[in-house]
A = this chain, B = another copy of it.
Amino acid sequence: MKPTIYDIAREAGVSIATVSKVINNTGRIGDKTKQKVMKVMKELDYQPSIVASALTGKRTHTIGLLIPDIANPFFAEIARSVEDMGNELGFSVMMCSTDNNIDKESKYISLLEQKRVDGIIIATGTRNTDVLQNLLKKKLPIALIARDLPSLPVDTVLVDDYMGGYEATSHLISLGHQKISIIAEDLKVMSSKERIRGYRQALEDHGMEYDEEQIHVSDFTIEGGREVAATILAENNPATAIFACNDLLAMGVIQAAREIGVEIPSDLSIIGFDNTILASLCDPPLTTIAQPIQDMGKQVVELLVKEIKQEKQSKQRVVLMPSLEVRNTTSDNTKNLV
């Protein structure tokens, strides 16, 4: 069996209270006893049980990370930065892929509560406000990343989606495109709405017409992007540029274009969003709006941990700026220059 605090106490000839104190470096213990206890702990390869410690009201030092899918490069990258920062601050992270499914989400959250995690970071897109509201009531610290729920008083870290949408569209416009389609993820999700708003504003600022018809909705899969793009390209007088609201969608657009022989970027310009590893590897490399993933992950964890340690009273929203990453899927709209 694993040695317990009793074994250490016995072996060191002290009480368990003393051992506990040296473990936690609390109270006052003589230097000799301290050394002695530490020595015994080493010898017996003793590891305090976090489970037992948590039962007495201390933290579990574990946080939950709710994301749509860990196999999605964008979220995998977020997960990595969350894990790194969490680890640095002494927290392990439990991963929960919800597929944006409301049931899975609830189930996972309930599970995390049972396991008494110290806090939860949420990146999933469901508009599951009730469950979150509930968490809030229970005082379970939560923080949002890459996701916005303005109605909820929670720490949030995200990119300025409106700005991103604006920049993406402006880039396309500056290249001479007159008909620009947008493929959004989900009209009900805030970030999606904001990107569309940015798209619209850019159009209007440049005196171009905003046409509802050009708004297409898909999900966050390659397949989804492929299908929608196929529809768009099959139109009579198809758009010469497509703004895909995430890189995965953009991959789908590239595939769809390739399938019907549409050249990128000469026949069709494409811009994505996220700047995942895919953007630099696909063919041709994708022009996209970059999110500062590392920074975002780092900041949510910091916020959440402060919340956990009750080192702060007010909730915060930190909005980071996205940036345009020009690669090879966008170019002058030569067709219209003829």
Name A residues whose Cβ lies closer than 8 Å to a Cβ of B.
2, 47-52, 54-55, 60-62, 69-71, 73, 76-77, 79-80, 83-84, 92-97, 110-116, 138, 222, 251, 277-278, 281-285
Given pairs A71-B77, A73-B73, 14 additional interface contacts (CB within 8 A)? A47-B113, A48-B114, A49-B55, A51-B51, A51-B54, A69-B80, A70-B95, A83-B97, A92-B96, A93-B95, A222-B281, A278-B278, A281-B282, A281-B283
Going nearest first, the 6 A-B pairs with the smallest beta carbon separation are A283-B283, A76-B76, A71-B80, A281-B282, A47-B114, A50-B114
In whole angstroms, what is the CA distance A323 to B61 when docked?
Answer: 42
Closest to A77 in B: B71
Would you mind naming 7 contact pairs between A and B with Cβ atoms under 8 Å apart?
A51-B54, A52-B55, A60-B115, A61-B115, A70-B70, A71-B277, A93-B94
Closest to A60 in B: B51
Shortest Cβ gap from A77 to chain B (Å):
5
Contacts known (A2-B138, A73-B76, A283-B282); A51 close to B92, Cβ less than 8 A: no
Chain B residues within an 8 Å CB radius of A60: 51, 115
User: Which listed residue, B71, B73, B282, touches A282 by the CB 8 Å rule?
Assistant: B282
Closest to A282 in B: B281
Chain B residues within an 8 Å CB radius of A116: 49-51
In whole angstroms, what is the CA distance A61 to B94 when docked?
Answer: 12
Shortest Cβ gap from A130 to chain B (Å):
13
